[in-house]
Structure 1
Amino acid sequence: MTSLITPVQAAATGHPAYSQTFPCQPSTAEIGRKLVRDALGVWDLDNLADVTALIMSELIANAVRHTPCHSIRLTVGRPSTTRVRVGVVDRAPLRLPVIGQAGEDDESGRGLLLIDGIADRWGYDLHGPDRRPWAKEVWAELLIEGDE
């Protein structure tokens, strides 16, 4: 295992989660893909690595493009025995994710549409008090094949 992965918590189901904070910049996508691949390798889920790394890249790109944050927290976890979840936490809770309407010639604006098409589900969670959240996590989950 590389030094990029730091186990920080065990989910309620007893499955590990990995989380680390990085600068909110495009180069973090490469680190995020490695974090995903390393975590999935530990869990013997290499068959999900390509699609999950793509999702992480898109989540990072959205945070970089649509938030003024200086840092983001990347998460990779197993919320249950049948799912893998990746997420990006930023400090811009009022900038909620919305699937865009990219034009035919637009070079960007399709990230969440792509995630919506390849993830089993996606969404966001606000962190902090209901009336004054301090952060949000945009996440996507994939079903582990054969474990339905």
Structure 2
Amino acid sequence: MPQPTTRARPTGHPGYSETLPRAPKSAATARRLVRTACAAWGLHGTAESGALVVSELVANAVRHARRQSIRVVVERTAPRTVRVAVADFSRMLPKLCTPKDDEEGGRGLALVAELAADWGTKERPWGKIVWADLEGRV
């Protein structure tokens, strides 16, 4: 199996992206990608929140998506804004819910909403992209 690659895009918003297997272990790679991007941009205060947010987005994609891969994208959309996004091949949109105290899951998007300045989805013919914007300090 080929190793995933990470590269900065030469045009547009500076960003990092990686195609990963739709597997729980991909969350660790996604967290490293977010931390690497935040360090490169000098947005160290955003790195840990971004790592937590991308973990939740990857977990949702692993649980609900189809096919064998997902795509993680980290972009600097403004001087203090980092957007983390996960694309998958499912058209099922995520829903913010309030789980009961004894339920083990269902809190991921609430955590994303709490940590992010904004979040949402972009529907695509092949699936969706779930994104979250994190505000940092320059």
Structure 2 length-normalised TM: 0.90
Structure 1 length-normalised TM: 0.85
Task: Supply the distance in 1 between the matched residues of 2:29 and 2:64 (Cα, whole angstroms).
Answer: 19
- Give structure 2 stretches of 5+ with no counterpart: none
- Give structure 1 stretches of 5+ with no counterpart: 128-132
Q: What secondary structure sits across from 1:103 in the alignment?
A: coil
Query: After the TM superposition, which parts of structure 1 deviate over 6 Å for at least 4 consecutive aligned residues?
Result: none
| Structure 1 residue aligned with 2:92 | 95
Match of 2:66 among 68, 73, 82: 68
Q: What secondary structure sits across from 2:9 in the alignment?
A: strand
1:92-131 matches, cutoff 5 A: 92=90, 94-127=91-124
Change (3 A) 1:9 1:88: farther
Change (3 A) 1:10 1:102: farther
Partner amino acid, structure 2, of 1:99:
L
| Structure 1 residue aligned with 2:9 | 8
Task: Supply the distance in 1 between the matched residues of 2:11 and 2:85 (Cα, whole angstroms).
Answer: 16
Match of 1:138 among 126, 130, 137: 130
How far off its partner does 1:42 sit? 0.5
Higher mean alpha-carbon deviation, 66-75 vs 23-32, is at 66-75
Whether 1:35 and 2:57 are equivalent positions in the alignment is: no
Partner amino acid, structure 2, of 1:5:
T
How far off its partner does 1:4 sit? 4.6
Partner amino acid, structure 2, of 1:106:
E
**Alignment coverage as a number of residue pairs:** 135
Contact 1:23 1:72 in 2 (8 A): yes
Whether 1:51 and 2:53 are equivalent positions in the alignment is: no
